[in-house]
Every structure is written in C-alpha cells, then in structure tokens.
Structure 1
Amino acid sequence: MKYLVTGGFGFIGSHLVEELVNNGHKVSVLDDLSNGQLGNLNASKNGIASYISNVEQLQQSYFTESFDGIFHLATAPRSSSLNNPMRDIETNCKGMIAVLELAKYYGAKVVFTSNSGIYGSKGDGKAIDESSANDPTTPYDANKLVSEYYCNIYHKIHAVPSVVIRLATIYGERQKVNEKLNWRPLVATLAKNVVNDEQVVIDGDGEQTRDLVYVKDVVQGIMRAMESSIDNAEVFLLSTNKETSVNQVLQVIEEIVGKKADVRYGPPLKGDIRRMRYSYAKAKSKLGFEPKYDIHDGIRKIVDYLQRNIS
C-alpha cells in the first residue's frame, strides 16, 4: 500500500513511518520540521519520499503518485494555541481541509489524530468515553473538534473515507521539549530535568492526572484504524483507562534514574485539564486495540533514550 504521513518526522509520526516501512508499505512524509527532525527517520530514510512543507499548503501537484491512505498527524501544539490562535487555525483547520481535498482527489482513506482534551475536565473520576460531552478549553481543542466535523462533512458530501482518533497523553522516545513552540510534554520534560540535574517546575500542585499511553501502542491503534473497514469519520479513543498524577510520574522517573529531583511548584496553566481518564473499550471492540506497555516500561524506555542522546 502507498501512504502519506503528515507530520511524519515528528514524535508519533516517525514511529508510525518506521512501522509502515517495516511492514513493506511505500511511504511519503510531509513535514514542516517545526517540531519534527530529519534524524528521527535516519534508519528508514531510504524507504521514504520526503516533502518539506506546511500541511495547509499541501496540494496534489507535490506528488507524482497517488496514495491509498493518508495518516494526518501534522499539528500545532496545544500549549501554543492560546498565544497564537491564528497559527493554530492555519495548521489544524486549514491543514485538515487540505488533507481532505487531497484524499478526495485520490480516493484515499484518512486517519486523523485528534485530541482527547476536547472533552475538557470531568471531576467525578469516571472514565470518559466517546459518548461523553465535548467541552474544549483551548483554541487547539476547538480546532481539532472542527477538523473532526470536516471529516464528517467530507464523508457525507464527497464520500471521503476517514477515521478519527482521539489521543490520550502520548509519551515515548523522540518526544522532546521545544521551547520555541512552548511545547513541554509531561514525561519528556520531567525525564529531561531529572536526567540532566535540572530543577523540575510543576504547574499547580502536581495532583492533576494524565492518561499516559506509550507511543508504540498508539501506532498500532492508528494502523488498525487504517486497516479497518470503518470509513464514516467514526471517533475512537486510544488510551489506557488509567490515571497517573504528575507527582506520580516524577516519582517513577526518580526511581528509574536513581536520583531525587529539585522540585518547584508554580501556578496552574491556563486551560489545563484536572483529570484525564479515558476508556478504550470501543477501540478494543472495533479495532482490536489493547495497550501493552505500562508506565514503568514506557518511562524506562524514554529515560534510556535520553541518557543515550542528551548530554
């Protein structure tokens, strides 16, 4: 099969591209390198075609061959959407339309990675599922939700097949802090701090929780969505159905690294979500998705990666 992966040099995208290439598929990657790195795909560079461009500028004239499917992962970070909401619209909304127009032209299926933050924060501790009410708290969440609507519209009007994946908090190797984009992913940030003997700054009291799912588990779920017969922009959560607090994440990292961190607590972030716990029952039932890695296994892998690559 021939696939296009937008954001393919990024954290999740590079893991997906590697798996696709290893499975014998022909892969093209489009990325503006704002948060991705060419080095993420050094091991697979001979098996891919690369296009360096913003996703909102995507057009059919870039390519000499058609695609069977498009994995749309390119995105602007959630953390920068409050400071630069117009840029978020450009990347997340206009980029979605560009992808759907290309899919319409080629008759390709789209798998779109959206965001579980669309649900907002539920305080009762019960697992959120796909039937839960939407309550976006940042421009990023709102624009991801609008992009989901575009998938639905293009399916109904133009018969473009698609699946929407709402991701919990992803972590793993190659996920890096990007201060330019105000991008500080939880596990990568804390692990970097502890490994490099840097002060850890926790926003709020650290008791806010995340549903942490390891990147290789996510890649399997995304691929299963593409391989499935589902084509009507149906929404699926990829998660673990487990809550882990920020303080607990730090404790696990300290145990694995073997040192205590210097911790400072600051004010909570605007638009932050207090509790995250998402059910993957629907994805398990319809896609066969089942997370394999627990947080100790996954965090150990990212710590090992950082110790090999960060001085």
Structure 2
Amino acid sequence: PNAFTSFNQTVYYFSCTDLFEENFRMLLDYVQKPWLTDENVEKEKGIIGQEIRMYEDNADWRVFFNLLDCLYVNHPVKLEIAGTIESISKITKELLYDCYNTFYTPSNMVVVVVGDFEPEKVFSIVDDMIQFKDKGKVEKKYPDEPKEINREYNEQKLAVSMPLFNMGVKDNVQVSGLELLKRRIGLGIALYYTMGRSSDLYNRLYEERLINDSFRFEVSLNSSYGYLAWGGQSPDPKKTAGIISEELKKISTNGIGQEAFKRIKKSQEGMFIRSLNSIDSIAREIMDSYFNGANYFDVSKAYEQVDIEFTNRVMKEVFENQTALSVINPL
C-alpha cells in the first residue's frame, strides 16, 4: 500500500493486476492498525523535515503556496500540507493517536474500488475486516474567510533561469453536491475560453513572448473553499498579469458567445469522457465527489444542466473578484 495527503484528504491506495483480495485485505488491515512509537515518530519527523526543506527550494511549489497565502486570510488551505519545521517538532506519539482516533471513523471514511471485480465479494471483505467503531460524525469547522484577499502581491527570489508567476482569484460562493459539479464545469469553460491555447489572450501573450508552453490554468472548487489559478514562466510577470486582468474585465462584461460556448463545452465534456479510460482517475474523482457531497456519476447530468446563462453568471461572479499575483524572480 501507498498513501498521500492533499488539502482535505489522506488517501491509502494500491493498484494491482492480480491477487486483488490479498492486497485489499492488507490495505484494510494496514489502515486500522497504526504502529506508533516514540522512536519511529522521531525518525519520521526527520524525514518529513527533509521533505519540507526540499520544497522550500522548489520554485513551482513556492509560487503556488505564496499565491494561496495572498488569496486567503484565514482558511487553512493556505497552509503547507506537510507543515513547517516548527510545527512538526511538536508532534508526539500521543498527538498522532489522538488524531487517528478522531478522524479514522467510518462516518469520515470511504472505500473506493474500481476495476474488474465482484461487488458482493468486496462488500463481504469490508464487513469481515472493518473493526472501526463509529464515534459519530466528524464536524469540520473552518474559520470565517472574508471576501477580500489577504494581499495583492508576493515576491520571492530563488534559483530559477526565468521569472515564474502564479495569478489567481477566490471563488467566495460555497456549494456542494450537484451544484458544485456544475460550478466547476461552468468556471472551467470560462477559463478555457479566456486563456486556453485557442484564445485571443493566450495567442497575444505567446506572440509577445510573455508566456511559453509552461502556461497552465486550473479550477479548484471544494465545499469549503474555491479558487481559479493560472501561470507559468514569463520574462515580465507584472506586465503579463496586467494584460490578463484587462482581459478578465472585458470578458466578464461581454460574456461568452453561443458558438464558442457550445464548442468549448463539447471539448470539455469529451475530455471528461476520455478520463473514464483511467481507473486511477475514476477512483480519485469518486472519492473527491463523495467528500464534497456529490456523486461522480452525476457529472454527465451536470453537463446537461450547464448552459450559457449559467456559465456567464458564475464567470462574472468570480472574474470580478480581486486577483492576486505571486512571483518567483531569479537570484
């Protein structure tokens, strides 16, 4: 088994071509029997500390988290996933057991299996293996987050050959379930229209050599937070950000035309359908949807319900919010 931690999930997983039942039982046993000692906790703290120091020199990592710190005043999404050298120094065996006993409860967990298997056999193994006692629903309480951003600009110097920038905007509307799926789709269409590779903005910036093939954008929406972000390498991040800001205002005012909307919506839905070829992608998306009160199999329904009026409305709601800019400059 392997594992990873994101902003709002800790995931234990495996993939296999054979011996599924044995691997599945091992995973369920592994998650239910933590073995923590003072010695192995101290050893792991040293390993995590090395990883934290490594990420401190990673320009892509730093420009992204510096942007989140610009966007968010209080929400913990702005915090480093691995913590800091100072915060991990306070971790003890007892604290980890407290966290485990609080969060590792059936009401706060989900098992996802994707592939060629017999569902009844999976249910039988889960019933046989799961020994957790449900201690009630875990309530996650987040601090109030103002609509305003924390700061407009952050700059840091690292060993890079060309300046790197991330720019973004908060989505202050919190939704879950089907409405969350629809909002992700609508804002994804809006971003693709604004700065996808066939857009006027992308081609202008590319022809003026203000961006290159590293330019990317993303929509990240969850039930407690949401943001849109974009960026890459640029010889002049501030000039690039200024041009993008002007385009956001213009598109927010004019909206997306019907022909462009239909074309991009079909393209985005096609990419979703192609993603169904990946069992890893399906597993991750089912889990993400579950914790956001949504059903992954409702994505097609969400595409049916997203029209041009909805897309232009959510685009205007978000594009008119204040943007933030994070820049990494060469030493």
Measured against the shorter chain, the TM-score band is under 0.3
Higher relative contact order (CA 8 A, sep 6+): 2
Q: Which has the higher helix share?
A: 2
Q: Which has the higher strand share?
A: 1
Q: Bigger radius of gyration, 1 or 2?
A: 2
Q: TM-score, normalised on structure 2? A: 0.25
